[in-house]
């Protein structure tokens, strides 16, 4: 009897251990870190909930040789990659390849290799660094580095290096529309070239004030603060023209 | 005085040469509008040649306000020459026809006579400017629509909101009227010295051409003295298309960057008008008129 009891007890211990081990293995399998591709797919899936939107906001242009007032703008987006910014009652100069790239378009193609480049923090938010290398040699983009908030599945920052238009950074702050993956504020930074026109063409009025010394190689910035989004209510082609 | 002015205005608008300017303005404005309508994007590419590779333009930059800006920029250098055709003929024309002596023998003071002639030439300049406004601004707004204005300077681009432009044009045309009356007074001044109108017309044109060339030449020697040329101040209307910026560098709508400088230029032009017209009246009052 005693031997039988002992064997039963041993079996119980073994079975409990097996259950615990399998439970532990199950837990660890759930906690297993997503690969860069898996994470981007999840982010994209979240963004794919948005078919179209009309966003209203204000745009500030900070480029040394552009003197522009703060503009009221409307952004229009339609899946998969149609995006337009329109200004209420005015014209604007926007960096090429910068503002026209919205968050969704960063993940538009699957024609890239995603490389996990570690972790860091942006402010107080822990983010994963993922580098995207385009596979097509014809792509203007050389490299995109994304800082992805894994907990909320949001792209907090993207830095894109292009062949033709230099490097531009895009930082995003999220708030009311985070569940859709849409930012409340977007800050673009980009390289600017020098601007100059001959005075003989401009026939300039000299008001006697000293011409300001414009800093060279200063990065240009465009900041868009969105106040509201109208999501998935339809965007016509006319709006995107 | 009013009767004298009416007579002088009648004389001005009776002459066929008066209408040359109106036809010339119509032709120039139409050609500029046609050129921008057909080839506007190329012109815009030229203006934005340093930034077109790195920036996209949103909105409609080739709108009526921009077209009017180009027209004013072009015309306000050449219209003074057309104004001189009339103002430089005011006294010299009478002398040439042999009617000046008869005119001053009437029981009207020479000062009143000259003032009426000067006012008639000034009114002609203003009417010509209104013609430019109708064709250059209002017709362009009708053809090209309205939007914001990109004012491309040599070292910066100023972007004005669409609802912040029309009042600037009203101010600019007011300033341009002052500039044209300055030219008118110069032609009028030269007019009292000649027996035919060709001399004062050419003299007025020469002064404007030489001063304008010296104003636009970017040579330090002339840069230091250009403040003394009235032609430098004639383009003061452009000052209305510049805005103040806040501490962060953003332009503030509804403001003028350097209003005191624009008002100073206006004051200098007004001073020229007073000096040229006053001198003309002073000299003519003491002149022995033989023709």
pLDDT of B195: 84
A159 and A202 together in one domain: yes
Whether A22 and A105 map to the same domain: the answer is no
The reported pLDDT for the residue numbered A212 is: 64
pLDDT of residue A84: 84
Q: What is the 3-state secondary structure (H, E, C) of chain B?
A: CHHHHHHHHHHHHHCCCHHHHHHHHHHHHHHHHHHHHHHHHHHHHHHCCCCCCCEEEECCCCCHHHHHHHHHHHHHHHHHHHHHHHHCCCCHHHHHHCCHHHHHCCCCCHHHHHHHHHHHHHHHHHHHHHHHHHHHHHHHHHHHCCCCEEEECCCCEEEECHHHCHHHHHHHHHHHHHHHHHHHHHHHHHHCCCCCCHHHHHHHHHHHHHHHHHHHCCCHHHHHHHHHCHHHHHHHHHHHHCCCECCCCCECCCCCCCHHHHHHHHHHHHHHHHHHHHHHHHHHHCCCCCC
- Minimum CA–CA partner of B47 in chain A: A197
Contact status of B240 with chain A (Cβ, < 8 Å) = no
Binning pLDDT at 50, 70 and 90, where does residue A43 land? confident
Give the closest of B47, B61, B249 to A91, CB-based.
B61
- A161 with A232, same domain: the answer is yes
What per-residue confidence (pLDDT) applies to B152? 86
Copy the structure tokens of residue A192: 């600017």
DSSP designation for A93: E
Q: Which residue has the tokens 């000067």?
A: B118
Q: Which of B178, B134, B174, B115 is nearest to B26 (CA)?
A: B134
pLDDT at B279: 94
**Residue closest to A127 by CA, chosen among A106, A103, A156:** A156
Domain span holding position A118: 34-240
Exposed/middle/buried for B213, CB within 10 Å: 0-12, 13-18, 19+?
exposed
Whether A67 and A22 map to the same domain: the answer is no
Interface check B50 vs A, CB under 8 A: yes
The rounded percent of chain A whose pLDDT value lies above 90 is 12
Q: Give the nearest partner residue to A93 out of B157, B243, B245, using CB atoms.
A: B157
* The predicted structure's pLDDT at residue A215: 63
Confidence of residue A109 (pLDDT cuts 50, 70, 90): low
| B59 close to A91: Cβ distance less than 8 angstroms | yes
Q: Which H/E stretch holds residue A44?
A: helix A36-47
Number of domains into which chain A is organized: 2
Q: How far is A220 from chain B (nearest CA, A)?
A: 11
Residues of B in contact with A200 (CB under 8 A): 216, 218
pLDDT class of A201 with cuts at 50, 70, 90: low
Q: Between A62, A100, A206, which is nearest B56 by CB?
A: A100
Scanning A95-177, the segments in alpha helix (DSSP H) are 103-106
User: How remote is the C-alpha of A81 from its chain's centroid?
Assistant: 14
Q: Looking at per-residue confidence, does B105 or A215 come out higher? A: B105
User: Does B110 lie at the interface with A, CB-CB under 8 angstroms?
Assistant: no
Query: Is there a single domain that holds both residue A16 and residue A135?
Result: no
Provide, as residue numbers in chain A, all residues whose Cβ is less than 8 Å from the Cβ of B152: 197, 202
Greatest mean pLDDT among A193-202, A206-215, B60-69 lies in: B60-69
- Distance from the Cα of residue A152 to its chain's centroid: 13
**Which residue from A153, A141, A147, A35 is spatially nearest to A96, judged by alpha carbons?**
A141
Q: Which chain B residues are closer than 8 Å to A189 by Cβ?
A: none
Of B198, B208, B188, nearest in space to B116 by CA: B188
Contact B245 A92 (CB under 8 A): no
Contact A228, A56 (CB under 8 A): yes
One domain, residues A10 and A56: no
Q: Which residue has the higher pLDDT, B119 or A11?
A: B119
Q: Is A9 exposed, middle or buried (0-12, 13-18, 19+ CB in 10 A)?
A: exposed
Of A69, A86, A95, the CB nearest to B54: A95
Give the angle subtended at the CA of A224 by the CAs of A226 and A158, to the nearest 5°.
Answer: 110
DSSP state of A232: S
- Cβ separation B157–A195 shorter than 8 A: yes
In this prediction, residue A3 has a pLDDT band, given cuts at 50, 70 and 90, of low
**Is the confidence at residue A29, as pLDDT, over 60?**
no
Is the same domain home to A24 and A45?
Answer: no
Q: What is the pLDDT of residue A105?
A: 62
**Helix pair angle (B259-285, B110-132), 10° resolution:** 140
Chain B neighbors of A162, CB-CB under 8 A = none
Say which of A67, A164, A198 has its CB closest to residue B154: A198
For residue A9, give both structure tokens: 């007890």
Average pLDDT over residues A55-75: 89
Chain B residues inside the 8 Å CB shell of A193: 50-51, 53-54
For tokens 């009891």, what's the residue? A5
Interface mutation target, options B41, B46, B59, B268, chain A, most CBs of A under 10 Å: B59
Which pLDDT value is given to residue B29?
93
A94/B56 CB distance under 8 A: yes
Q: Are B239 and B265 in contact (CB under 8 A)?
A: yes
Q: Which residues of chain B have pLDDT under 50?
A: none
Distance in angstroms (rounded) separating the CA atoms of residues B88 and B183? 10
Greater confidence (B260 vs A215) lies with B260
For B244, name the nearest residue in chain A, comparing CA atoms only: A67
**CATH code, A206:** 2.50.20
Radius of gyration of chain A (CA): 26
The Cα–Cα gap between B203 and B154 comes to 32
* Residue A211, pLDDT score: 67
Q: What integer pLDDT is reported at residue B121 of this predicted model?
A: 92
Mutation target among A66, A95, A97, A205 for the B interface, most CBs of B within 10 A: A205
pLDDT at res. B155? 81
User: Which has the closest alpha carbon to B165: A109, A90, A202, A72?
Assistant: A90
- A158-179 pLDDT, tens digit per residue, is 888 888 777 888 899 999 888 8
Q: Where are the domains of chain B?
A: 2-285
Distances from the Cα of A38 to the Cαs of A4, A35, A112, in angstroms? Answer: 51, 5, 13
Q: A22 and A141 share a domain?
A: no
Residues of A in contact with B54 (CB under 8 A): 95-96, 165-166, 190-193
Q: Are A118 and A154 in the same domain?
A: yes
Instruction: Say whether the ipTM exceeds 0.90.
Output: no
Residues A65, A14 share a domain? no
Distance to chain A for B286, nearest Cα, Å: 39
Contact A90 B61 (CB under 8 A): no
A116 and A62, same structural domain? yes
Q: Are residues A137 and A213 in the same domain?
A: yes
The answer to whether A86 and A224 are in contact (CB under 8 A) is no
Q: How far is B46 from chain A (nearest CA, A)?
A: 10
Q: How confident is the model at residue A39 (pLDDT cuts 50, 70, 90)?
A: confident
Query: Torsion-angle region of residue A151: left (phi > 0), alpha (psi -120 to 50) or beta?
Result: alpha
């Amino acid at each position: 009897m005693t031997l039988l009891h002992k064997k039963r007890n041993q079996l119980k211990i073994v079975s409990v251990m097996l259950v615990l081990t399998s439970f532990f293995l199950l837990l660890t399998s759930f906690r297993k870190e997503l690969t860069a591709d898996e994470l981007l797919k999840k982010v994209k899936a979240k963004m794919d909930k948005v078919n179209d939107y009309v966003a209203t906001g204000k745009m500030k242009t900070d480029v040394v040789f552009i003197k522009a007032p703060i503009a009221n703008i409307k952004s229009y987006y339609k899946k998969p990659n149609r995006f337009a910014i329109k200004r209420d009652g005015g014209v604007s100069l926007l960096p090429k390849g910068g503002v026209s790239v919205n968050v969704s378009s960063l993940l538009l193609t699957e024609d890239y290799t995603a490389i996990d480049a570690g972790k860091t923090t942006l402010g107080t938010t822990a983010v994963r660094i993922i580098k995207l290398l385009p596979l097509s040699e014809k792509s203007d983009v050389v490299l995109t580095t994304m800082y992805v908030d894994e907990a909320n599945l949001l792209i907090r920052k993207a830095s894109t290096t292009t062949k033709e238009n230099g490097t531009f950074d895009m930082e995003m702050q999220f708030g009311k529309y985070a569940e859709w993956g849409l930012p409340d504020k977007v800050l673009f930074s980009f390289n600017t070239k020098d601007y100059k026109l001959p005075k003989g063409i401009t026939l300039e009025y000299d008001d006697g004030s000293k011409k300001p010394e414009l800093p060279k190689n200063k990065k240009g910035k465009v900041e868009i603060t969105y106040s509201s989004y109208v999501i998935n209510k339809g965007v016509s082609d006319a709006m995107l023209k | 005085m009013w009767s004298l002015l009416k007579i002088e205005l009648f004389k001005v608008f009776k002459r066929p040469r008066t209408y040359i300017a109106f036809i010339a303005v119509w032709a120039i404005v139409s050609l500029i509008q046609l050129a921008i309508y057909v080839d506007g994007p190329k012109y815009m590419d030229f203006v934005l040649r340093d930034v077109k590779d790195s920036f996209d333009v949103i909105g409609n930059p080739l709108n009526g306000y921009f077209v009017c800006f180009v027209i004013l920029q072009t015309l306000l250098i050449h219209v003074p020459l057309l104004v001189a055709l009339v103002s430089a003929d005011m006294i010299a024309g009478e002398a040439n026809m042999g009617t000046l002596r008869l005119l001053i023998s009437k029981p009207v003071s020479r000062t009143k006579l000259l003032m009426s002639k000067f006012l008639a030439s000034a009114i002609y300049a203003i009417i010509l400017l209104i013609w430019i406004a109708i064709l250059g601004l209002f017709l362009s707004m009708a053809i090209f629509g309205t939007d914001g204005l990109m004012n491309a300077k040599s070292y910066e681009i100023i972007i004005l909101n669409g609802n912040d432009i029309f009042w600037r044009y009203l101010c600019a045309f007011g300033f341009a009227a002052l500039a044209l009356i300055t030219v008118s007074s110069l032609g009028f001044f030269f007019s009292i010295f000649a027996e035919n109108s060709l001399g004062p017309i050419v003299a007025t044109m020469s002064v404007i051409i030489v001063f304008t060339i010296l104003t636009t030449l970017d040579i330090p020697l002339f840069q230091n003295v250009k403040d003394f040329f009235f032609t430098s101040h004639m383009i003061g209307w452009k000052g209305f298309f510049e805005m103040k910026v806040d501490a962060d560098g953003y332009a503030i709508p509804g403001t003028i960057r350097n209003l005191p400088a624009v008002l100073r230029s206006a004051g200098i032009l007004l001073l020229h008008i007073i000096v040229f017209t006053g001198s003309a009246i002073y000299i003519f009052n003491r002149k022995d008129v033989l023709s």
